[in-house]
Amino acid sequence: MQEITKMFILHGLHIFYLLVFHLAACQHTEELHLSGPLQDMTFSVQEGTIGFQYLYQFIIEPPADSLRLSGETDGIFEIGPKQGILYFNKTLDRETKAVYKLQVNAVDAKGEKVKGPYIITVNVQDINDNQPQFDQLKYFGVVRPLPSRAGKPFMYVHATDLDDPTTPNAQLSYSIFQHFPNPYNVMLFEINNKTGGIATSPQGARLLDPQKQDHFTLVVTVKDLAGMTGNAFTNNADVEITVKENLWKAPPPVHIRENYLGPYPINITQVQWNDPDAKYELLPKERLPRFPFTINKNGTIYVTEPLDREEKDFYTFYATAKDEQGEILDKPLEIQIVVEDVNDNPPVCQKALTIFEVQENENVGSIIGTLEASDMDQQGTLNSRLQFHIVDQNPKIPVDKLFIVQQEAGTFQLRSSSLNKHVVSNYTLKVEVTDAGFKTECDVQINIIDINDQIPIFEKSDYGNVTIPEDTPIGNVIQEIQATDVDEPFTGSSQIIYQIEEGDPGKIFFIETDPKTNRGFIKIQKALDFEKSPVYNLTIKATNPEPLVSGVQYRSNSTAYFRVIVTDVNEPPVFRQLTYITAVYEDTPVNTWVMKAEAYDPEGDEIRYTLKNNNRKWLRIDEISGDIYIASHLDRETERAYRVEVTAIQTSKESQSSTAIFILHIRDVNDNAPRLAKNYSLFFCHPLSGGEHAQIEATDDDEHDPEFTFSIEGDENIKRNWGISRINGTHVYLYPKSTDLEAKMHNIPLKIKDKGEPPLERNLNLQVNICRCTDARTCFIELAHNSQSPSVGMAVGILLAVAIVVVPGTDHSQRQDAK
C-alpha cells in the first residue's frame, strides 16, 4: 500500500512540474527566448544542476498534434508531448556522460510522423567535483647528489583528475609540503609544479651526504585548479628517497625513435666508472648483421645509424670498464635500447579477399566473422590502432546496409533478417581500414550458405621428421600438409586455415594455404639458428573461418604433428666490433702493446689472426691472442692515420675468415727542427739611410701551432751591427743597427728555436748584401773583364729577385722591394 501511495505522489509531482513548466513557458517565452519552432538545437547544462529543469519549449504546428522524444534519454530527459516542453528530471554528472544525443519527432493524432527527426544535443559542462589522485600510494626514488644536477629531476610523481582536462578543474599543481628528516632546516629537494619532477635544490645538491643521512621521506601535495585558489581539492603522497654514491650502474632503458634522420652519431646514454681513468668497451649480447652503437673514452654511448623497429625493436648489449692493464673492474652493465615506433606502415589486409559465410536464416546481430588486418607498427599504440568502416555493398538487394562492422574489432554482424540465398547468393563489401595516418581498402565476400557441420580432417596425423641446415633461406617450403573438408566447396565452411599451435614460440615458421586445394605449405619465416634451437616439435591445427554449428567440435583428427631438425653449418668467426680505433704518439717505442682485436667462432674453433695492408710494416699482431704491437718507427708526417685490416681465420679444415678494420691515429711529437720558410737573397742599398729592415719567416713540419724565438749568434761585432725585432710567433724583421756598414756580402749567424717538448733549434747562416743600387733601387754589380769578349770593361746591372721590403728611414712612401 505504501508503494502505491508513493507512486501516486511521484506521478502527481511529475504532472505538477509539467504544469509549472508550461505556465513558465507561456509567461516568459518572449522574454527568455526559450521557445520556438522545431529545429536542430544544442544546449549546455552545468553538471550538478538539480533535476526537473526546463530547457526549451518547441511550438507544435499543425498537422502535428504532439511531440515524441527518443535517443539517449537515459531516463533523464523528457518532453511534454502536448506542450512541447523539453526538460530533465535528474541531476547530471559529466564524468558519467558528457554529451547526450536526442531526437524529436512531430506526430499527428494517429501517431504518424509528420516532421523530424530533429537532433537535440545536450552538453554537460564540468564543475570541479573530483579530487586529484596520485597513481601510486607511495613513490620510491634514488638520487646521487651533485651540484651540477641541482634542479634537474631524478624522478617524477604523477596524479590525475577526472574533471574536464580542458578546464582549470583538472590542471594540477605539485608542491612539497615537508620532508623528514630536515637536518639543516632548509628544503633539500624541490619539485616542478607542472610536471611533478623531483630534483635536489641547490642547497640539497651541496649538503646531501649518504654517509650522514641516506634516507628521506617527502610529503608531496597535488592541487587542482592549478593550485591558484583556496578552494582547490588536494591530495598527498609519500616519496621515499634513498641517497647513494656508486656511479657504476646500468642506465635506464633508452628509447630511440625509429628512422630518425640524424645527424649521426647521436648521444643516447652514458655509463661512468667511479674513477676517471677507466677504459670502456661495448660487447654485443647476440650476433647481429651490424652493431649500430659505439662508446667513447668518456663512457658516452652513441647510436651510429637510423634504427628500424620493424627490423628489430629491442637491443641488449653490455658496457664494460677496464683498467689500464685491460682487466675488467666490475661486472658488465646491461644496456637496453627500445626502438620507439612511428606510424610508417599502412594497414594490410591479411587476404586479398576475405570470405565469410552466413546462414540465410541467421538471427539479426549474429557474428558473421572478423576481417583480419594488421599493421607492422608497434602493437598497443595509436600507430597500429585499426578502425573499420563499410563503404560499399554490392548488390544492394533487398536493401543497402544489410551488414555492420564493429569499428574497432573489424567484426561483422547481421543487421537485417532479409537474407535469401535464392535471391542473392553472395555479397561483396568494400571495407576501409584506417590507422592514425593511412587507409587501406579490403575486399570482403559474404556467402549465403547452409550450416557448417563438418570439420577438416588431416590425411595423416604425423608427418614425421624433416632435416634442414640452419642456413636454409627464408621463404623455403620445408613440408606440405593436406586436410580435407566435405562442406560446400569454396566456402568458409570448407576453407581450411592451418595454424601452428605449439612448438614454435619464436614464430620461425608459417603456413601458406592454397585456396583452391586447401593444401598447406610450411615455410621458413625467420632465420634458423642451430645454436639456439636445434629441434622444433610442431603441433598443427586445421580449422574453418566459419564457426561450427552448435554441437560440432574440432577433434583430434583436425590436428597433425611434424618435427623439424636443424643441422649445424660452419660459420665464420665474429669480431667483437667491426672497427677498432686507437691513438699513439709517433715516438712510441717498438714492441709497445697498442690494442687487442678479439673474435670468437660460433662453433668454438680456434682462431688465428693476421694483418693485411700493413704496407709500412709499422704494426705486428700476435696470431694467437690478437694483441697488436708497434713493429717499427712511426712517422706522423708520413701518415697521420694508419689503416690496416685484421683477419681472423679458423684453424679447421673448412677454414673461414672475417675481417675487421684497425685504425691507428698517430699523434705528433716535436721531432722536426725549425727552418726558414724559403731561401732568401737579401740586400740593402749603400749607403744606408737608417730604418731599413727585411721580413723573414720560419716554419717546421710538426703539428703544433708554431711559435719560434730568433737570435743572432756570432761575435760581438755582428751583434753590434745587426738586430732582430719580433712581428709574431713566426715572423721577424732583420735590420742593420748602423748606417756605416761596409758595402759587401755580410754573413749573419742566426739561431731559430721552437717551444715544443723537448724544444728543438737550428743554426743557419743568413747572407745579406749591402750594395750600390741603380735608380730603380736594384743592386748594381760590376762584372769582371773577359779577355775573350769583343767588349771593353762593360758594366752590367743584374736584377736579383727576392721577396724583401727595404724601408729607408721611416718614410713609407719610399718603401721598395729588395730584389
Tell me how far apart the alpha carbons of residues 388 and 440 are, in angstroms, rounded to a whole number: 10
Residues (pLDDT < 50) of the chain are: 1-33, 783-819
pLDDT, residue 776, reads 63
Is domain 675-779 classified as CATH 3.50.50.60? no
Selecting from 2.30.40.10, 2.60.40.60, 3.30.70.20, 1.20.120.160, what CATH number does the domain 574-667 have? 2.60.40.60
Tell me how far apart the alpha carbons of residues 445 and 215 are, in angstroms, rounded to a whole number: 66
Tell me how far apart the alpha carbons of residues 47 and 162 are, in angstroms, rounded to a whole number: 13
Architecture in CATH of 35-125: Sandwich (2.60)
Domain 348-449: assigned CATH number:
2.60.40.60
CATH top-level class for 254-340? mainly beta
Sign of the torsion angle spanned by Cα atoms 567, 570, 571, 574: positive
Full DSSP string of 43-84: EEEETT--SSEEEEEEPP-TT--EEEEEES-TTTEEE-TTT-
Contacts of 424 by beta carbon, 8 Å cutoff, 6+ apart: 395, 397, 448
pLDDT, residue 784, reads 43
Domain 133-243: assigned CATH number:
2.60.40.60
Tell me how far apart the alpha carbons of residues 411 and 392 are, in angstroms, rounded to a whole number: 16
CA dihedral 419, 420, 426, 427 (to 10 degrees): -40
Question: Residue with C-alpha cell 612539497?
Answer: 176
Output the nine-digit C-alpha cell for 177: 609540503
For the stretch 391-397, contacts whose Cβ atoms lie closer than 8 Å and that sit 24 or more positions apart, written own/partner, are 391/430, 391/431, 391/432, 391/441, 392/429, 392/430, 393/427, 393/428, 393/429, 394/427, 394/428, 394/429, 395/424, 395/427, 397/423, 397/424
Tell me how far apart the alpha carbons of residues 69 and 120 are, in angstroms, rounded to a whole number: 10
pLDDT, residue 344, reads 83
Tell me how far apart the alpha carbons of residues 316 and 284 are, in angstroms, rounded to a whole number: 7
Q: Is the omega angle on the peptide bond into residue 117 within 30 degrees of 0, that is, cis?
A: yes
pLDDT, residue 361, reads 72
pLDDT, residue 147, reads 67
pLDDT, residue 815, reads 34
Tell me how far apart the alpha carbons of residues 438 and 383 are, in angstroms, rounded to a whole number: 10
pLDDT in tens, 650-695: 887 677 889 999 999 998 888 788 889 888 889 999 888 888 899 9
E strand or H helix that includes residue 17:
helix 2-32
CATH top-level class for 457-567? mainly beta
Domain boundaries, the chain: 35-125, 133-243, 254-340, 348-449, 457-567, 574-667, 675-779
pLDDT, residue 246, reads 67
- Do the domains 457-567 and 254-340 match in fold? yes
Contact 87, 63 (CB under 8 A): no
Contact 731, 696 (CB under 8 A): yes
pLDDT in tens, 553-584: 999 999 999 999 999 887 788 898 999 999 99
